[in-house]
Structures are given as structure tokens and as C-alpha cells.
Amino acid sequence: MNTAKLKRLRETFGEYRIDGILLRTGSNLRYISGYSGSNGLCYINREDAWFFTDFRYKTQSASEVNNMNIIVPEEGDLFAALEKSGCILPGTTVGFEGNRLSYEEAEKMIAMFPKTIFKNTAMLMEELASVKEPEELEALREAARISDAAFARLLEDIRPGITERQLDAKLSFIMKSLGSERDSFDTIVASGPNSARPHHKPTERVLQRGDLVTIDFGAMSRGYHGDVTRTVCLGKADAKQREIYTIVQDAQMAALKGIRAGLTGKAVDAISRDLIAAKGYGDYFGHGLGHGLGLEIHAEPRLSPKYDKILKPNQVVTVEPGIYLPEWGGVRIEDDVIVTETGCEIITDSPRDLIEL
């Protein structure tokens, strides 16, 4: 029974001035309960916890949720079952996920409990979940290992004549054959001028000799996401391609050497951003340096010019600088790291030097 997460959650109640918290379906519910289904609700107070789901997930919740009282109402209305259970007491203050609960559900909840004070505690769970337990770090390491192994195999298929979509399909098959639960997100395969689009969707474009090809992908292990990007060149890189690649590689290595607990996400972002700007390409690096990883692909914390929060040990983030030149192409290199007191542990290990195929 995993009680450590419940204990950490309850320790935040004083800071947020709440007596309990209500969580709906999603990664936060899975984080605290272990439940991976698509319909669930839980209420946690200082002494106990209740989990509600419908008949479809009765057996699943019994095997996944081992730290809460499980209630499966016959009528399937989870909020009605919550009211009937009596676990939310009049006069208490209850936190809820204002960034996740629908407006309709919030209205229903407030009407059902007129003597309860509801307080928006958006981001409480996200910040709590950003600091990983040992078993979570192992799942993230496994997702990284599968991702690396899949990329090594994919290199045999990256060649002129194959389309972006075909490469996407091959990579998905390889990751699953190596043990990935599913693709961590919709894979990006961006070739030639398409590589100037950071979130390009694979098309029928045929890869051509001389192309830069950016592949952004990730495997998944026990619900935890991997996220890796590599840019390769089909054939011998020309001077411009090598220049851009070297700048991005240097910017990433500088951030990997500089990141550590105690710095803000903004400060780490600036390490790469300032280097790219000094080389004259600051206007072509338009996204944040990285984001947190966990049960969601984009999680807390962030590495960006606007993120002033302090990084903590055992947070897991991506480090992914890039340069994108319209109509020419782009380069991005991305790795996953565990933040430590003195630096970071890089858990992805695909080659970072330019690969010329």
C-alpha cells in the first residue's frame, strides 16, 4: 500500500487551509490512488480516503486502488454517491481542481454541499507530483531506456524514399515491440523544411538526401512518459546544417551542465537561450527550454523565461533547445533528466553528436 503520497498530500492541507481534497479522473487521481481508468472520483481528508467509480471499473479499481475505501454505486452517479457517503462534512473546507473539474461538475458539487466551503486548489497536485518517488523514477528510466533502444533500431529505416508517416508508424511499432505501453504522445517526424515547425505532424512528404530530419518521440512505462528528440542528416551535412546543429548541441550541453536544484526554471532556460542569442539565432528559439515529465507529457516544473519557481531534487524535466529557420529547416535535441542537489542525472542516452546517414 502506497501511503507515502497520501501522507505528503495531507501535509499540504495546513498550507492551503483545507480539511480535504476532491480529485476527478486524470493523472492526479492516478498519482494518488493508482487508478488508470477513465471514470473516477476520490475524496481525501486528514484521516481517511474514499474512491468512487462505476460498474465498468469495479474489478479494475479493486486491483489498482489499495489505499482508499472503494464505492461503486449501482446508478453510476459518482457525485450522488459522494453525497450519500457522508464523507464530506458540513462546515469543512474542501479543495478541488479548478483547472480540471468542469464548470457543470463544479456547479453540481456546490449545490449538493451548500454547507461546505469549496476552495480552488489548482496546481496543488501538480506541484506535489512533480517530486518523484523512487518507483516513479524507475518507471521514467525504463521509458527512457525503451525510447533509446527504439531510436537505435529506427536509424536503419531513416533513408531517402520513406515518408514521414511511414517512419512514424515504424517507430510506434518498434517502441511497442520493446515494451512501451503506447506512444507517449503523437510522434513528430519533420523532414527538410518541415523541421522548422516545432510541432509538425507527419505527412506524406518523402525524405530526400540532404534533409535534416527531426524526430520527437517517447515510450511509456507504467503510465510514465518518455520524451526524446534527435535531429539527423540524410547524407553529409553542409556547413549551415553543421553550424546550426553545433549551436543547439552546445546550448543543450551548457544547460545540462548548469541545471541543479535551487535554480529557477527561468535561470536554467537562460543558459541555453543566451548562448543561442549570442550566436545570432535568438529569434529562432521560440519555445521554452523544457518541461516536467510524469504521468502527463507536459507537467510541472517548466524551464522557460516565465518560470520563477525553484527546481527541486527528484523533479524530472526535458532539456530541449532548438533553432528553427523558416523554409530552411530546424534542429532540436532533447533529453530527459532527473534534477539533483548538485546537477542532474541524464536518463536518455541516444547519441547527441550529429548523425549523418
Q: How many CA atoms lie within 13 A of 9 on its CB side?
A: 29
Query: Residue 2 has what pLDDT?
Result: 65
**The C-alpha cell of 13 is what?**
492541507
CB 88 within 8 A of CB 119: no
The helices-and-strands tally (H runs, E runs) of the chain is 11, 19
The pLDDT score that the predictor gives to residue 320 is 98
Inter-residue contact 299 to 293 (CB < 8 Å): yes
Query: Consecutive 10-residue runs of the chain (357 residues): their mean pLDDT?
Result: 85 97 94 95 96 96 95 92 95 95 90 96 96 97 98 97 98 98 98 98 98 98 98 98 98 98 98 98 98 98 98 98 98 98 98 97
Residue 5 C-alpha cell reads as: 503520497
Residue 4 confidence (pLDDT): 87
What's the predicted TM-score (pTM) here?
Answer: 0.95
Element (H, E) at 50: strand 49-52
For 91, left (φ over 0), alpha (ψ -120 to 50), or beta?
left
Structural domains of the chain ordered from first start: 4-129 (3.40.350.10), 131-356 (3.90.230.10)
> How many whole angstroms separate alpha carbon 248 and alpha carbon 205?
25
Assess contact for 53 and 41: CB atoms under 8 A.
yes
